[in-house]
Amino acid sequence: MLPSSLAVVLTGLGLGVGALAVFAWSWRRGLFDDIPAQADLVFDERDNRLERPWETAEQKADRRRRYGELIAPEPGEWGGAT
Amino acid sequence: MGRRHVSRQDATLPFRGDVEIRLRADASSRAPALVFFSTALVWLLFGSIEGTLASLKLHMPDLLTSAGWLTFGRVRTAHLNAVNYGWASLASIGVALWIIPRLVHTELRWPRVATAGAVVWNVGLVIGIALILAGRNDGLEWLEMDRYLADPFLVVGGGMAGVTLLATLLARQSGHLYVTVWYTIAAFLWFPVIFVIGNWPTWTGVESAAVNWFYAHNALGLWFTPMGVGAAYYFIPKVLGRPVYSYQLSILGFWTLAFFYALNGMHHLIGGPVPTWMITTSIVASVLMVIPVLAVAVNHHMTMVGRFGALRYSPTLRFVVLGAISYTAVSLQGSFTALREVNRVTHFTHWTVAHAHVGVYAFVTMVLFGSMYYIVPRLVRREWPSARLIQWHFWLVLAGIALYIIPLTLAGGFQGLAMLDPAVPFQRSIEVTRWALVSRSAAGVLLTTGHAIFAYHFWLMVRRRGPTREVPPFHEPVPVVYERPEGQA
């Protein structure tokens, strides 16, 4: 006897197995090869050089060392208003 | 004179390649994103008023009962559909239309199609909610809008926005996919599947209930959740200027959600006339959700460690972090509530209502507010006019949702225990919730006021009432446009 919710079971499994297939395909395509580069995709160069007022002197020095001289943020830079 | 051009070798020049790409991406999504945001805010206001009215009726049952369209059954249903398909869905799509082009380093493809999609989606909503208020309703939770007259507009409108995002993804200039892209694109692939399955007209009886909860739970888990978590994975690192703590963990979180979430919904039918093994499967899947949830929670927390001071400076971060914390809370609460021993107390109580609001409001809506605070200035090229209005908005909605969730969760527990005790009359299980229902109405007033302030502030922005500036904000004042030398391929 078929369960009364066969549609749910089949669709749920279909979505899970479909995800597994996409994961395998992505893996073979090398979409998980360069993890650090993926994590940095969110930034552009300006992001890295913005001076963030909440950062400590050490954190700012580290940012300066890695990305060069810092630049001042624009008013409202962090989603707010001046 | 050559045409404007960006190539990889130019990225070595200060800002030029990156910022140019970002500006072009923002410009391409400007019109559709603003249309999605504007209409989302209209639905947020409408849904808030309807929700507050429905809440008042729970402890003032004689309020506004003279007309059918003002009765609880219609008002509450209109609220649910307006905030889920109006506010949260439209705003989420707006965020997606802005984020994806940025992350794949190209312009949004066919932006006019996306804008038209917003119009079509809104037409469906107007029809569906008007019919609900007129008393015509499909009778399924989260699927009340007419499946023949309203829902096709949502499928087509959402599809139009989704097609533009998929075309943009296919035209990507970045070699990699950031985790936000995975979450967002997956949501656009999952939602049409669950929406069509949920609305399929052949289900009857028990099967209909099972499919209904399959849909309703997945609408949160496979539509709103990936949109919200994806946005949080963008904005937290972006504002802080540091990558997520563990990118591997973010990937693990996404794929475990994709593998396990779809079977979650059946735990809403614990005690119902469906096979026990199916309920147990759903409970197991619900508990497995601890994996992606902890992956996201640990990642967001560790990304924030040492930078919590940023919350003072960034309204975006304040809203998004609050939303991210709520995601952890609502998900762990959901896994806990799915256990049979807990569910026998909380089922059919206000606990579930509070739980739904932790998800759709404290998590999804907070992330959307934070996202819009970041995005809208970059679309209209001016900063928000008033820091004070942002403060009012934040504290009103924070107080409102706290006043909503905490009392209603507690009262739900009391209500469930009273209903389970055969020595306690049923009337008593109602009386123990009354204080929380009053608190819920007060919360509704606070939330609606906060939303009105946000909508007014947004209106000031798009009407260009903010402070005037000599240069557009958020990119360096030196122009990044340059010319390709004549004759160069």
Interface check for B321 against chain A (CB to CB < 8 A): the answer is no
Candidates A1, A2, A9, A15: best to mutate against B (most CBs of B within 10 A) is A15
Is the minimum CB–CB distance between B210 and chain A shorter than 8 Å? yes
Are B427 and B460 in contact by the 8 Å Cβ rule? The answer is: no
Q: What is the mean pLDDT of residues B346-352?
A: 94
| Residue B13 pLDDT > 80 | no
**How far apart (Å, rounded) are the C-alpha atoms in residues B350 and B35?**
35
For residue A71, report the phi and psi dihedrals to the nearest 5 degrees: -120, 155
Q: With contacts defined as CB-CB under 8 Å, which chain B residues touch A46?
A: 15, 18-19, 475-476
How high is the pLDDT of residue B191? 94
Of the partner residues A5, A45, A59, the one whose CB lies closest to the CB of residue B18 = A45
pLDDT of residue B383: 86
Q: Where are the beta strands (DSSP E) in B61-216?
A: none
Helix, coil or strand: residue B201: coil
| Percent of chain B predicted with pLDDT > 90 | 75
Match 């107390």 to its residue by tokens: B345
B373 or A73, which is more confident? B373
A81 vs A13, higher pLDDT: A13
> B488: distance to nearest CA of chain A, Å?
26
Chain B, nearest residue to A30 by Cα: B176
CB of B374 less than 8 A from some CB of A: yes
Distance from CA of A46 to the nearest CA of B (A): 6
Q: Which among B18-27, B81-90, B270-279 has the top mean pLDDT?
A: B81-90
Residue B12 has pLDDT above 60, yes or no: no
**What mean pLDDT value characterizes chain B?**
89
Are A24 and B281 contacting, i.e. CB atoms less than 8 angstroms apart?
no
Provide the token pair at B198.
């949920």
| Section B114-120 average pLDDT | 97
CA angle B144-B150-B155, nearest 5°?
A: 100
* CA diameter of chain B: 91
> What pLDDT digit, counting tens, does each position of B135-168 carry?
999 999 999 999 999 999 999 999 999 999 999 9
**Residue A2: what pLDDT?**
52
Cβ partners under 8 Å of residue B396, min gap 6:
B446, B447, B449, B450, B453
- pTM for this entry: 0.91
B7/B74: higher pLDDT: B74
Instruction: Return d(Cα B355, Cα B342) in angstroms, integer.
Output: 14
DSSP for B5-28 reads ---GGGGGSSSHHHHHHHHHHHHH
List, in order, residues 6 or more apart from A13 with CB less than 8 Å away: B262, B263
B176 closest CB neighbour out of A38, A54, A80: A38
The whole-angstrom distance between A64's CA and the closest CA on chain B is: 13
Q: Does B247 touch chain A (CB under 8 A)?
A: yes
CA distance B190 to B170: 18
Say what percent of chain B tops pLDDT 70. 92
Segment B234-261, tens digit of pLDDT: 999 999 999 999 999 999 999 999 988 8
- Residues 6+ positions from B284 with CB-CB distance below 8 Å: none
ipTM at complex level: 0.90
CA B184, A27, B248, B296 dihedral sign is positive
Are B258 and A16 inside 8 Å of each other by CB?
yes
Residue B482: band (very low, low, confident or very high) from pLDDT cuts 50, 70, 90: very low
Count contacts between A and B (CB, < 8 Å).
188
User: Would you say residue A34 has pLDDT above 60?
Assistant: yes
- Nearest by CB to B241, which of A3, A36, A50? A50
> Residues A29-43, buried b or exposed e (16+ Cβ, 10 A)?
eebbeeeeebbbbbb
> How far apart, in whole angstroms, are the C-alpha atoms of residue A19 and residue B299?
22
Pick from B180, B200, B310: CB nearest A52: B310
B16 near B480, Cβ under 8 Å? Answer: yes
The pLDDT, as a whole number, for residue B10 is 40
CA-based nearest residue in chain A for residue B239: A78
Q: Residue B468: pLDDT band by 50, 70, 90 thresholds? A: low
CA B480 from centre of chain: 35
Q: Which of A11, A31, A63 minimises the CB distance to B197?
A: A11
Kindly list the residues from chain A whose CB atom is less than 8 angstroms away from the CB atom of residue B200. 7
